Chains A and B, each alone.
Chain A
Amino acid sequence: MKDRILQKNSDWDWEIKPETSWWQLNFREIFSYKDLIKQLVRKEFLGQYQQTLLGPFWALVQPLLSVIVYVFVFNRVIGVPTSNIPPFLFNLAGLTLWNLFSEIFLQTSRSFAQNADIFSKVYFPRIIVPISALWLQLSLFCIQLFFLILVCSYYYITGGITFNVANFILFIPVIIITAGIGFGGGLIFSVLTSKYRDLLSLIQLVIRLLMFASPVFYSLSLVPPNAKWIVKINPLSSLFEYFRFALLGIGNLELSLLVYSIVFMLILLLLSIMLFNKISDSLIDVL
């Protein structure tokens, strides 16, 4: 008799139980939804630029305008040195990487609340939505990176800078770590903001402050020694240095800081995915 029950239990394909375990992340299930991820990316991309004048060029216009403002403020007015690199290029490089981080962070943290109506009507692994937000931002980043390299080439041809294409290999770890930290932080806040809406405005403030605490418009070497620890505990700092080194050949590289960023990213990702998994199911009741 007992054998029969056991046999029967193993026959079922799926089970719905009151509790979700911390570790329950079914990669095979997520992979089976890859079409949905692609479609959501496409939908967001198309939806974002529907009925706009410039369409996808907005992905370039927005950073371009910001850079012009920052060049004026930081370099013309305040006079921040940029180690013989044209200020426009220096700031564009910093801002491109910063945008990758901040957009992934913001869009991921909004993803849950924005899709609450779909979540309450149909089931698919909830993490699909942040993943598609991540994917979209990565694709937009590729456009911006391509543009950045074009600008670099212009300066190279006109003799403003020199660069080493072999260093481009450093882009890969830098992009992965930046995206990882943005995604992990975004995931945690996506769960929190759907419960506490007032956090959304807080996030934007924190992001803005974090931008100035990261070497986006200045290089690490400019930071006075007594304030250096602030920039050093920021796991994003080394990434900007490595990114500018890969592109422009400048910056002081500290491997220990990079290792710190990697460890930070891994722990953050692990924690955030566990938290998302555990809480996202019960969150539907609250939304």
Chain B
Amino acid sequence: MTEAVIQVENISKLYHLGKIGSGSLKRDMQLWWEQHILKHDNPNNYIQNGVKVDNNEAIWALKNINFEIKQGETLGIVGHNGAGKSTLLKILSRIVKPTEGIVRGKGRISSLLEVGTGFHADLTGRENIFISGHILGMKKAEIQNKFDEIVAFSGVEAFIDTPVKRYSSGMYVRLAFAVAAHLEPDILIVDEVLAVGDADFQKKCLGKMNEASSKSGRTVIFVSHNLQAINNLCASTIWLEKGNLKAFGNTKTVINSYLSTVHQKSWKKEFKINEAPGNDFIKVFYVELIPKLVPGSSVIDIRTPLTVKFKFYNQSDNIPLSADLLLFTLSGDCIFDIPSKQTIFNKGVIEGECKIPGNFLNDGSYTFTLHFSKNTSSELFSYKDCLMFDIADYRKNTNWYDKWWGYVRPDFPLELKTVE
């Protein structure tokens, strides 16, 4: 049985909102004098509706957190902004003290809460590798051994003796991460650092982290908004919600229940007819995306068949009308444009429906646009970005942990067989 390397027991952290002191000795002394000698009320507390309001309100950034991490385990932490993820990481990395509770651990711990901690802009890349390495807890010999590897990983060989202030921001980040990636602690704590760099570099980083945990048996604690990466790197995951431990366990289960709160449950827009988007020809008053969720999953994933329904009010008689349903990625690339058949309509409510099969779209964020035209040539109305939705990833039997390539992800059969 592998043993626990970190044990977190009843950790709580209290932060004082508002001002902690005034930052000026004169003001603080004045306050102390008034409160303790003259017995005045703290001016930070004011009376509201007869009730004394304490402006120095305290909030629990973390409340009674308990968990254990075993050696070689990779733990993900997810949660909304302000859920206490960073506070937890800072306590684990010994940067801040918990208000209550105790953390016990074994082995050397290194934390990467930011890239380029301790970099000095005036010094060369070479100097900075040493400075940053030492600050992150590496020994001199360790850095010397890995120096070439670090430089190669960062890809800034040609500029290693140039002051880093002349680096492009991409080079800077790559060098900074390269140092961090070659840390060899027993426990590695990584905050959202992967949000930097281009896609290629991110891939390299994720690979490096995967290597650290799976090959070298290192314990990794990883906070990210990239659920994809957590899903593929981490065996178990903690979900923090307003300082409380909402769930702790198998990553798939935790992420699924987390996603179901993040994503909206209904993808539907309905308007009163006079407020509906549109013009003198068309008024769209209802659009809905109806997913047929796969049993056991609470979110739209790549297997989910989708149905789009929309209703609009046609204000002209005897008009040759057609509609197009367009799907865009969030970055603006058009995935498809599905036209309806052209039909002659009179004034009245018209309904449209389109079915998109499961196992067709890749994971990502998408928006629908509805486009109405007369004679299939002149535009009557275009309702841009009428629905926005996310498709979660789903994969099995693969060790590929990175974003799946392609705009679409059809499940066409591809067979391999031995012929000789």
Contacts and interface: CB of A to CB of B under 8 A. Distances in A.
B95 A16 contact: no
A121 B189 CA distance: 11
B127 A43 contact: yes
Interface in A15-71: 15-20, 33, 35-36, 39-40, 42-43, 46-47, 50-51
A77 interface: no
Given A16-B98, A20-B97, A284-B96, A122 B117 contact: yes
A254 interface: no
B102 A17 contact: yes
B31 to A, nearest CB: 13
B98 to A, nearest CB: 5
B182 to A, nearest CB: 16
Interface string A190-204: 000001111100000
A50 B127 CA distance: 13
B106 A198 contact: no
Interface string B11-35: 0000100001101111010000000
Interface in A129-171: none
Contacts of A43: 120, 123, 127, 131
A11 interface: yes
Given A122-B113, A122-B117, A124-B135, A15 B93 contact: no
A123 B104 contact: no
A47 B21 CA distance: 34
B91 A16 contact: yes
A16 B102 contact: yes
Nearest to B133: A39
Given A119-B95, A197-B23, A11 B106 contact: yes
B55 interface: no
Interface stretch (B136-144, B288-296, B304-312, B383-391): B136-144
Nearest to A196: B25
A227 interface: no
B107 A13 contact: yes
Contacts of A16: 91-92, 94, 97-98, 102-105
Contact of A197 (B20, B24, B103, B136): B24
A286 interface: yes
Contacts of A33: 134
B21 A122 contact: no
A118 interface: yes
Contact of B98 (A18, A35, A46, A197): A18
Contacts of B20: 285-286
B12 to A, nearest CB: 9
Contacts of B103: 15-16
A111 B310 CA distance: 64
A16 B111 CA distance: 15
Interface in B317-346: none
B94 A196 contact: no
Nearest to B142: A35
A198 B134 contact: no
Contacts of A12: 7, 104-106
A35 B127 contact: no
B97 A50 contact: no
B364 interface: no
Given A47-B122, A50-B163, A51-B122, A124 B137 contact: yes
Contacts of A195: 21, 23
Contacts of A121: 95, 111, 113-114, 117
A14 interface: yes
Contacts of B98: 16-18
B118 interface: yes
B130 A39 contact: yes
Nearest to B103: A16
A120 interface: yes
B277 interface: no
A113 to B, nearest CB: 12
B131 A39 contact: yes
A122 B118 CA distance: 9
A39 B98 CA distance: 30
A123 B102 contact: no
A16 B26 CA distance: 34
Contacts of A122: 93, 95, 111, 113, 117-118, 135-137
B101 interface: yes
B111 A123 contact: yes
Contacts of B107: 13
Interface string B239-276: 00000000000000000000000000000000000000
Interface string A171-195: 0000000000000000000000001
B100 interface: yes
Contacts of B91: 16
A36 B105 contact: no
B216 interface: no
B99 interface: yes
A192 to B, nearest CB: 8
Contacts of B111: 121-123
Contacts of B97: 16-20, 281-282
Give the 7 A-B CB pairs with smallest separation, nearest first.
A123-B94, A50-B122, A12-B104, A16-B103, A196-B25, A36-B134, A39-B134
10 contacts: A12-B104, A13-B106, A16-B91, A16-B104, A18-B100, A40-B131, A43-B120, A43-B123, A121-B117, A123-B95
Given A12-B104, A12-B106, A16-B98, 17 more contacts: A11-B106, A15-B104, A16-B103, A16-B105, A17-B102, A18-B98, A19-B97, A36-B134, A43-B123, A43-B127, A118-B135, A122-B95, A196-B23, A196-B25, A198-B25, A198-B26, A281-B96
